[in-house]
Amino acid sequence: MNNLKIIFSRLFIFFVTLECFCQIPSVKSAEEVKIIYSIFSRTIEVESIKSYSETGQAQKKLKGILRRTNSSKEKIQEVLKKNFDIPLTIASKLMYSEIGNVVLTRLSKIIHPPRARDEVTGKLALRASVIKAIDLGEGKINLINFLEGYPTKTVILNVNALSKILNKVESISELLEFFTDSPLNKIKEN
């Protein structure tokens, strides 16, 4: 019995020491967005996007990408900063509803973690990001909070998949309204 206590105490000391000296950094939010278009990709820091949304000043990598959007600086900043009031309880109902699952499935093809081999992983990351973003925004969500709440270091943005959806929608603001307002109104009524 004494030997068992000695073994457990040594194991305990070993694991505590191991944790102190070999701390593995944990990722609390996304640090970069990797934009993939066909065989090309470009990585942009989330801080750079956030800074642009606040100041309108883009860093070199971001400038090149923004030029390719053919949108005005004001319009891009408006999209980045647009807040949507979504109470956490309604967001939760929405994300676990049939409509929410369809939206998350479609979005998980556009926005997903690196090396996500299935849509379930993407959907889980999206749900976590939305909940954290609503918390960060104190009941409101915008694209910056969404990125800051994403649970992996890198967020993959698949432009090819996004293009397919954008071809069906007139504008980004219409897309945002489609993904937020119409499903939300149905859930608020219930």
Residue 76, classed as helix, strand or coil, is: helix
Please give the share of the chain, as a percent, with pLDDT higher than 70. Answer: 71
On whether residue 68 sits in a domain, the answer given is yes
**Integer Cα distance of 105 and 36 in angstroms:** 19
> What is the pLDDT, as a whole number, of residue 17?
54
Residues 6+ apart with CB under 8 A from 176: 79, 82, 84
Whether residue 123 is predicted with pLDDT greater than 80 in this model: the reply is yes
> What is the pLDDT, as a whole number, of residue 105?
87
pTM: 0.70
Q: pLDDT band at residue 1, thresholds of 50, 70 and 90?
A: low
* 182: containing domain: 32-189
On whether residue 167 sits in a domain, the answer given is yes
> What is the pLDDT, as a whole number, of residue 24?
45
On whether residue 4 sits in a domain, the answer given is no
On whether residue 106 sits in a domain, the answer given is yes
Average pLDDT over residues 113-130: 86
**Integer Cα distance of 49 and 153 in angstroms:** 15
Q: pLDDT band at residue 7, thresholds of 50, 70 and 90?
A: low
Average pLDDT over residues 97-111: 85
On whether residue 22 sits in a domain, the answer given is no
Whether residue 16 is predicted with pLDDT greater than 60 in this model: the reply is no
> What is the pLDDT, as a whole number, of residue 116?
77
Domains in the chain: how many in total? 1
On whether residue 150 sits in a domain, the answer given is yes
Greater confidence (24 vs 148) lies with 148
Per-residue model confidence as pLDDT tens digits over 142-190: 888 898 999 989 988 888 777 777 666 555 556 566 655 555 555 555 5
Distances in Å between the alpha carbon of 148 and those of 4, 99, 140, 158? 46, 25, 13, 18
Q: pLDDT band at residue 42, thresholds of 50, 70 and 90?
A: confident
The strands making up 154-158's β-sheet, listed across from edge to edge, are 40-45, 32-37, 154-158, 111-112
On whether residue 53 sits in a domain, the answer given is yes
**Integer Cα distance of 181 and 175 in angstroms:** 10
